[in-house]
Structure 1
């Protein structure tokens, strides 16, 4: 041992082994477990490697990123939400007509304390919107009047701060929509600008309320009549149109969890559950294009990222344009609250398993990795 080296240092990386094993024995490193559960992706075994070839691999993807994965499954019924249907679940609220003929879209959101399971055997004391993390994915149409009835059943003051355009009175900060336990507040504003947005609690300390799970997607579809020069693209984004129905749309909220509250994350994920989409790959029909609404809410790390294997995408930063801000890229970085829309296709690919993940290797091995199961349709 080097002189003056501490003997009791505990780091996030040391907890990768110790913390996972301690969590009920269900989340362990595959490389240290002889009985590791194998993923059944149907990719088939490759020929046995030449023992003198250090680059040979025993199977495709080595069972998904070398099987640096959690073991077991999180029960969605016990947890109260399932990351697979969460990919396509939109809360559309209820729609009525105002006196001026405009649509009024009303949402109801409740804050509550809830213990959730973020990896097999690993519980986290979350603060939630509507009992889930991330909260409901709210979706509206450009120009509608929005009314969000917010009730706080949690143990702390909370609010809903929307990334959009509204008056200061609707901003969800102290004195403008932040309420105490047992109180109710109604946010009301017009849906603009169109794009991929988010909402989150803006109570202090902000990093605690964000990290505990108080965030969700907030998407405003463009009104094609307001964008005649890009009418076809706008229609493809407007939920309920035939043009939109041809797309496979997915909501992906990149998040992470500090399970020992030392200011560093032990688990990373998309839509909360570590390795959820590696254990249950996302089914994609190869003939239909894919659109991802990607949002980063990760606390304690300056950036997160999304990397698509064997393919490239067009990226619409914040989703507020109908033409791409980046074309033909396979990696995008986002700081916290940054978001955008990814569009790509597997039409020219063979059917099979295609990986996606953060391109910070640590994030990948601690839960942020999944697979697209591209199928013939």
Structure 2
């Protein structure tokens, strides 16, 4: 970076996206983010007016990135499924660590470390009691691991000395999917904040086995992917993250699923008659909490997703520290069609990318 120090508060005071096109970022390749859109020029039509024009101009090239934040909402990776000799279901996955530059806002690039070439990594989904087997290949330039938030043996913990993998090498993690809930995985190599912030994390969803929960069988079955009860639901995974583009340990970009304002430019379509379930995970580094606020509605919240009854009822805002996660359930059945905002309730995060819209039809 030349001439002046780039920080997020100076960025906001100087007009945000206009400043970004006037200065260079040492961590970005010729960053060229422009001034905020106007409603007349916005490809998103009236969305700029709804958000007070606090959105980025232009489009991120998702094909070049190799991942699309809209597809990420629902692209569950259920693995290669087979049966062990004892009848237990086996799910096998392959995850590869890759150094890769990604576009996190129009014209703004970030030198990421990725799982399978994307940030966040693949959204792994299994059922309670399944055997999980993950072959982890390190094709990156630093040592990395896969640390799963769940129950497993010490030798499968994915920390230095237990599953850490050097560049060019591989390791296989194996454990049972326990407990059910909304979990995550991430790299646990040191320095930890750098490996997480650079993009090495992803969702790990374990559906409850309804047969294990007869007292809450309907609720358990509604979460079981592939069941008739689950098909009623509109389910989405949302990983809240941030990007420190000049490595001063303050984020300049905030997002859900890595691309600033992705769901303003392309609002998430909801069918009014069907209930909504969000698997929400916070992996934001350098900020003590992140949050989600839903406009014009309220939701039930299941902290960590490890219960089948809500831990919070009828709330419209939830806060999560890093690695905290949970499940939100709500409905727009009694609402008129239209666009409904949801966003962080830290205003700075909103202005720097964490603003989204539902399109209720």
TM-score, length basis structure 1: 0.89
Match of residue 206 from structure 1: 192
The aligned runs of 1:107-146 (5 Å cut-off) are 107-146=93-132
After superposing the two structures, state which structure 1 stretch, 89-98 or 13-22, moved more.
Answer: 13-22
The one of 283, 305, 319 aligned to 1:333: 319
Match of residue 232 from structure 1: 218
Residue 15 of structure 1, CA deviation: 2.8
The one of 24, 38, 41 aligned to 2:42: 38
The one of 135, 140, 151 aligned to 2:137: 151
Match of residue 250 from structure 1: 236
Q: 1:106–1:142: structure 2 CA closer, same or farther, 3 Å change rule?
A: same
Distance between the aligned counterparts of 1:282 and 1:184, measured in 2? 37
Match of residue 298 from structure 2: 312
The aligned runs of 1:280-359 (5 Å cut-off) are 280-359=266-345
Cα-to-partner distance string for 1:124-149 (whole Å, 9 max, x where unaligned): 00000000000000000000111011
Match of residue 58 from structure 1: none
The answer (yes or no) to whether the contact 2:48–2:55 under 8 Å persists in 1 is no
Residue 21 of structure 1, CA deviation: 4.3
Unpaired runs of 5+ in structure 1?
A: 1-6, 43-60
Cα-to-partner distance string for 1:51-93 (whole Å, 9 max, x where unaligned): xxxxxxxxxx861321111100001111110000110000111
Match of residue 34 from structure 2: 28
The answer (yes or no) to whether the contact 1:41–1:353 under 8 Å persists in 2 is no
Q: 1:36–1:173: structure 2 CA closer, same or farther, 3 Å change rule?
A: farther
Distance between the aligned counterparts of 2:107 and 2:4, measured in 1? 25
Distance between the aligned counterparts of 1:374 and 1:21, measured in 2? 38
Match of residue 53 from structure 2: 67
Q: Secondary structure at the match of 2:52?
A: helix
The answer (yes or no) to whether the contact 1:36–1:71 under 8 Å persists in 2 is no
Q: Secondary structure at the match of 2:143?
A: coil
Distance between the aligned counterparts of 1:330 and 1:21, measured in 2? 38
The aligned runs of 1:168-247 (5 Å cut-off) are 168-247=154-233
Structure number with greater Rg is 1
Cα-to-partner distance string for 1:224-258 (whole Å, 9 max, x where unaligned): 00000000000000000000000000010000000
Q: 1:181–1:281: structure 2 CA closer, same or farther, 3 Å change rule?
A: same
Distance between the aligned counterparts of 2:162 and 2:173, measured in 1? 9
How many residue pairs end up in the alignment?
349
Unpaired runs of 5+ in structure 2?
A: 25-29
Distance between the aligned counterparts of 1:22 and 1:258, measured in 2? 16
Distance between the aligned counterparts of 2:292 and 2:316, measured in 1? 8
Residue 35 of structure 1, CA deviation: 8.8
Distance between the aligned counterparts of 1:136 and 1:336, measured in 2? 19
Residue 14 of structure 1, CA deviation: 1.7
Distance between the aligned counterparts of 1:332 and 1:250, measured in 2? 17
Distance between the aligned counterparts of 2:300 and 2:220, measured in 1? 16
The answer (yes or no) to whether the contact 2:38–2:53 under 8 Å persists in 1 is no
Residue 25 of structure 1, CA deviation: 7.2
For the pair 1:270 / 2:256, whether they are aligned, the reply is: yes
Q: 1:36–1:9: structure 2 CA closer, same or farther, 3 Å change rule?
A: farther
Q: CA RMSD in A?
A: 1.7
The answer (yes or no) to whether the contact 2:129–2:177 under 8 Å persists in 1 is yes
For the pair 1:14 / 2:2, whether they are aligned, the reply is: no
Q: Secondary structure at the match of 1:363?
A: helix
Match of residue 355 from structure 2: 369
After superposing the two structures, state which structure 1 stretch, 287-296 or 61-70, moved more.
Answer: 61-70
Cα-to-partner distance string for 1:282-301 (whole Å, 9 max, x where unaligned): 00000000000000000000
The answer (yes or no) to whether the contact 2:238–2:278 under 8 Å persists in 1 is yes
The answer (yes or no) to whether the contact 1:305–1:359 under 8 Å persists in 2 is yes
Match of residue 48 from structure 1: none
Distance between the aligned counterparts of 1:293 and 1:36, measured in 2? 35
Q: Secondary structure at the match of 2:70?
A: helix
